[in-house]
Amino acid sequence: MQSFVNSVNVEHGPDEFETTDGLARWLGRNGFTAADLGEPDRRDAVALREALRSLLRENNGAEQDTAAHRVVEHVARDCPLVLRVGAGGIALGPAHDDVRGALGAVLAKVAEAATDGSWQRLKACQEHRCEWAFYDRSRNRASRWCSMQVCGTRAKMRVYRQGKREQGDQG
Ligand SMILES: [Zn+2]
């Protein structure tokens, strides 16, 4: 799930899903085929990725994005899941091993995380330039940035500079 959302580095690029070739490489790396992969699939992959990022922003205190909710539901309709029974246990998994299967696998992970309680800890970095998907391991679930050193520091510096400016205005 995280590697799907992080297939683009919002701040520095590149976007692996910018072309169908790039998406095909991502599918190959993750054990899926690029059979019948077309531009509509690529657009759905990007739409789902950005909608999930919106959901991860909600987990980090942002307002509900109902349009993103609808996008996730809409894409999910074309990504059937089936019950997988094996030595490892029973779980929902994708019905196909193509691009629809890959998107389905991501959605299955989302459903699994929502069930086991880890979903609330999956967040998009609050630094707008970054938006990296990260897993909040803090005890009180209060992490706002992907990295305290990088994004946390940037946000705190900005608040500090604003404070200075406002002090200057008053003085
Ligand atoms: Zn960040």
**Ligand 1: distance of its center to the CA of 149 in Å?**
9
**Ligand 1: distance of its center to the CA of 16 in Å?**
19
Q: For the CA atoms of 11, 4, 73, 142, what is the dihedral angle to 10 degrees?
A: -70
* Pair of tokens at residue 135: 């897993």
**Ligand 1: distance of its center to the CA of 160 in Å?**
18
pLDDT, tens digit only, all 171 positions of the chain: 888 888 888 888 889 999 999 999 999 999 999 999 999 999 999 999 999 999 999 999 999 999 999 999 999 999 999 999 999 899 899 999 999 999 999 999 999 999 999 999 999 999 988 999 999 999 999 999 999 888 999 888 888 888 888 777 665
**Ligand 1: distance of its center to the CA of 137 in Å?**
15
**Ligand 1: distance of its center to the CA of 128 in Å?**
8
Find out if CATH 1.10.3300 is the number for domain 2-170. Answer: yes
Q: How far apart are the first and last CA of the chain?
A: 50
Domain boundaries, the chain: 2-170
